[in-house]
Structures are given as C-alpha cells and as structure tokens.
Chain A
Amino acid sequence: MHEFSIAVSMVDIALEYAAKSNAEIVNEIELEIGELSGVVMDAMTMAMSAATKGTLLENARVKIVEVPGKARCRACGHTFRIRNIFDPCPQCGGFNPEIISGKELRVKSLNIE
C-alpha cells in the first residue's frame, strides 16, 4: 500500500498550493497517474479518501486522469503504445523500450474558492 504514502504527498502538495492561493474551499483535486507508474488506481482512490480526511481537501472531488503508456524502442526507434513495461516493440520485437509517458504521479491542478 505505497499508494497511501503517495496520496499523503499529493495531499501535502495540494494543501501547500491551496494555502498559497488563500483557498477557503477546495472543490476538486486533479491527479495525473500514469498506467506504468506502479500504483493501483482503485487503491489510489481509496488512499486519497483516507489521506484527505480532516484536511481542507476532505470534501474535494478527486479526479484521476490516467495517462497512457508510450514508449520508444531503443533498437529500431519505433514509437508505440505500451501497456506493460515488458511489452515487446510491435515493429522489431525487441525488449528495450524507453518510456516516454505513463510514469506520472502528479498533482495537476486544484479548483478552489
């Protein structure tokens, strides 16, 4: 359940920005989670609801944007959609992808009042 420590870091980041912007209410927190980031989406949703408890974010809607995996093959240069880090390159069959996106664990934005 490393999702919980990640959720706690995300809540800390959000609270810092909310305070900087003099927020009284946080309506929504938007997260970007890559599909290759190593966190489980369901666990992340649960962890966020636990981590926001008792904070300004308690009633904020948690919006999770799942970022699809994208890779470039180091052998042939082909760029392709990758769902698992052990997927072969569809063009040359090689197992040496450079991950371009899909590793995100990011607080994207807040909607505040």
Chain B
Amino acid sequence: MCGTCGCGQPDQPVLILKPGEEEHMHNYFHSHTHHHGDEAHTHSHSHSYVHAHHTDDKAHVHDHEHQHDASDHEHQHMHGHVHEGEGMEMHEHHHAHEHQHGRQVMVEEDALHENNLLAERNRGFFEAKKLLALNLVSSPGSGKTSLLEKTIIALKEKVNIYVIEGDQQTMNDAGRIDQAGAPVVQINTGNGCHLDAAMINKALKRLDISDDGILMIENVGNLVCPSLFDLGEALRVVIISVTEGDDKPLKYPTMFETSHICVINKTDLLPYVDFDVEKTREYALRVNPELKFFEVSVKSGEGMEDWFNFLLTEWKKA
C-alpha cells in the first residue's frame, strides 16, 4: 500500500529476486491520483470513540459519521450504537437504522483464511522435504541478518541452509547471505510491512531446494504486522537486542505470543545499557509461558553454540 495516502497499489508488484538480478528491477517509482472516470471524488470521515469501562464490564459507544461526496451522488450516514454487556457476554446492540432495506447475506469468513490455507500448503511442502522452516521476526536492527550469517558459516558443512530474505527494498541482505554461502532469494515487498504465505510460496519455486535441510525466512523488520501471518514455518523466532527496551514483550505482545523461541542478542553490550534480561524473560513468559530463550552475542560468539545445537537437534526431528 502507499505510505503517503494509504491507498493500494496494484501496479507495484512484490519482487522476488536472486542475487545478481538487480538490473531487472525497474519501474519502481510511481505516482498516482484518485480519479474515477472524470469524477472528482472526495471522502470525509469523522469518528469519535468513547469507551467507558465500568468495573469489569464495558459500555462501548461508537459513533461514526461518514460523508461521501461524489459528483453525481451525495449521501450521508450517521449511526450510533451502544454496547452494554455483563461480564463476558457479547455486546448487546441497539441500532437505529431507518434505511435498512435489501437482503442479508451471511458470510462468516475469516480474513486470514486464504493466507492460512496457503501456509498449510507450504507446511506440507516443508514436511515432505524434511525441511526445518524458521520464521525470523524482530524490529529493524536487532541483528537478524548477522545471526543468519554466523549460523550459515558455522553450520553449512553439516546441513543445507536456504534463506528467504524479506525487506521492503534493496538486495543488500541477500547479498550478505550469498557471501556467507547459502542459496538465497530476496523478496522486496515494496511498501508491504510483512511477508505472507503467498510470497513464500512463490519464492520457494525460485529456490532449488533439495531434501533435508533448514530454511530460514527473514521477515520484514517489524514487531507488529508479521505476527498475524502464518508462513507455514515450524518455528517462529523473535529476536530482541539489549539496546531495545526490556518491556518490548508487553508493548508488542502478539509477536511474543505467537513465537516459539526468543533470541536475546547483543549481550556483549549489557554492561553499557539498562536492559534487564530477567525482566524481559518475565514479561515474555507472561505473554507466552511456553517461550524458550537463547541469550547470544552474535558479535562475540557468546551463547551461539547453544543456538547451533538447538537448530541441529530440531533439524534432525524435522
């Protein structure tokens, strides 16, 4: 989607490239305006949310006011609804709709249904190939790519490692992985903030994967969006570095809730920062009591042996 105005860009495709294919990148910059036919089109929205919480139950009042003006078309909607409920009951709705005509079609379909189906297909492929697939997620700058480089260098004689790199732009990370000696495909999501199962499905077709190995998927640096998108991985690994706040697990709980492994990186910097490792573990365990931790310094190598052994053990199970 467009970061400037929030509208979609079907004209900007997701790019899937191997190292050395950069020259084929073209048509990257774009501009667009909103015109539907020759009609100028404006939308104005105003919203007000009032949430009042009484004791442990809730009263929600949502007021929406929508105004759409198009050249041949003018209408105005206003509705207010009040939710009141006891304890955990679903809200009761009081709606005042004067103009509810037409027929009702029940849909009841999950927005992530399509993604989850494709993720299961990927998962089946990984299982059949005896591939251990990992989805590495973190904020930008936590050291995902460095962790990958060191892991590849240490383990490439023992196991085939494949990498799918996700970034909004550039081939930089794929270049680093290529140097480290693993087959790699780069996904440039354009303005997309996460990888999804369909992108992985396409990227897999460009990686000539033989049976038995480890596939590392480095997601776009972002602690929010990638958490909702299953890629088909066996393990999700969240990486946090000690230069970040130790309350990250509470600030971004969904990512820690959906991960299996938490790697705490840059431990060589602990003497210089206020990061409290125990506090981070405690917060993360509140969100996800099953989470398993590794404390490493990719730079000094401290703690890396445990991480390598863990990967080899999991790979043998795959």
Q: Which residues of A contact B (CB under 8 A)?
A: 1-2, 4-6, 8-10, 12-14, 17-18, 21, 23, 25, 27-28, 37-39, 41-42, 45-47, 49-51, 53-54, 59, 61, 64-68, 70, 79-81, 84-86, 88, 95-96, 104-113
Taking a contact as CB atoms under 8 Å apart, the answer to whether B103 and A112 are in contact is: yes
Give the residues in chain A near B62, CB-CB below 8 Å.
Answer: 64, 66
CB-defined contacts of A47 to chain B, threshold 8 Å? 6
- Across the interface, do A113 and B111 meet the contact criterion of CB distance under 8 Å? no
Give A68 to B83 CA distance when docked, in angstroms.
Answer: 11
Q: Are A17 and B107 in contact (CB under 8 A)?
A: yes
Mark B201-236 against chain A: 1 for CB-CB distance below 8 A, else 0: 000000000000000000000001111110000000
Is B102 within 8 A of A2, CB to CB? Answer: no
CB pair B114 A9 closer than 8 Å: yes
Question: A80 CA to B249 CA in the complex, in Å?
Answer: 22
Given the known interface contacts A9-B112, A80-B88, A106-B111, the answer about A49 and B225 at a Cβ–Cβ threshold of 8 Å is no
Task: Select which of A4, A18, A59 is within 8 A of B1 by beta carbon.
Answer: A4
Asked whether any CB of chain A lies closer than 8 Å to the CB of B38, the reply is no
Contact status A8-B103, CB under 8 Å: no
B77, chain A: closest CB distance, angstroms: 6
**Chain B 224-266 interface mask (CB, 8 Å, partner A; 1/0):** 1111110000000000000000000110011001000000000
B104 touches A110 (CB 8 A): yes
Whether B107 and A14, one on each chain, are in contact in the complex, defined by CB atoms closer than 8 angstroms, is: yes
Q: 17 interchain pairs (CB within 8 A)? A: A1-B6, A5-B1, A9-B112, A13-B107, A17-B105, A27-B101, A38-B227, A38-B228, A53-B34, A81-B56, A84-B253, A85-B287, A86-B249, A86-B286, A109-B107, A112-B102, A112-B105
Chain A residues with CB below 8 A from B257, complex form:
85
Contact A95 B36 (CB under 8 A): no
Q: Is the CB of B91 within 8 A of A65?
A: yes
**Nearest chain A CB to B4's CB is how many angstroms away?**
12
Q: Which residues of B contact A84 (CB under 8 A)?
A: 253
For B112, the chain A residues whose CB sits under 8 A away are 6, 9, 105
Residues of the B chain whose Cβ atoms lie less than 8 Å from the Cβ of A59: 68, 73, 75
Q: If A13-B107, A38-B254, A113-B102 touch, does A6 touch B91 (CB 8 Å cutoff)?
A: no
Of A39, A42, A107, which contacts B47 at CB under 8 A? A42
Min Cβ gap B290→A in Å is: 9
A95, B224: Cβ atoms closer than 8 Å = no
The residue of chain A having its C-beta at the shortest distance from the C-beta of B115 within the complex is: A9
Contacts of A21 in B (CB 8 A): 103, 105
Q: Is A13 touching B111 in the complex (CB atoms < 8 A)?
A: yes
| Of A5, A13, A14, A86, the contact of B192 (CB 8 Å cutoff) | A5
- A9 adjacent to B103 (CB under 8 Å): no
Does chain A have a CB within 8 A of B85?
yes
B14-68 contacts to A (CB < 8 Å): 34, 36, 43, 45, 47, 49, 56-58, 60, 62, 64, 66, 68
A45 and B45 contacting across the interface, CB-CB below 8 Å: yes
* Cβ B102 vs Cβ A25 within 8 A: yes
B311 at the interface (CB under 8 A from A): no
Q: Are A50 and B1 also in contact (CB < 8 A) when A66-B83, A86-B287, A95-B285 are?
A: yes
B109 within 8 A of partner (CB): yes
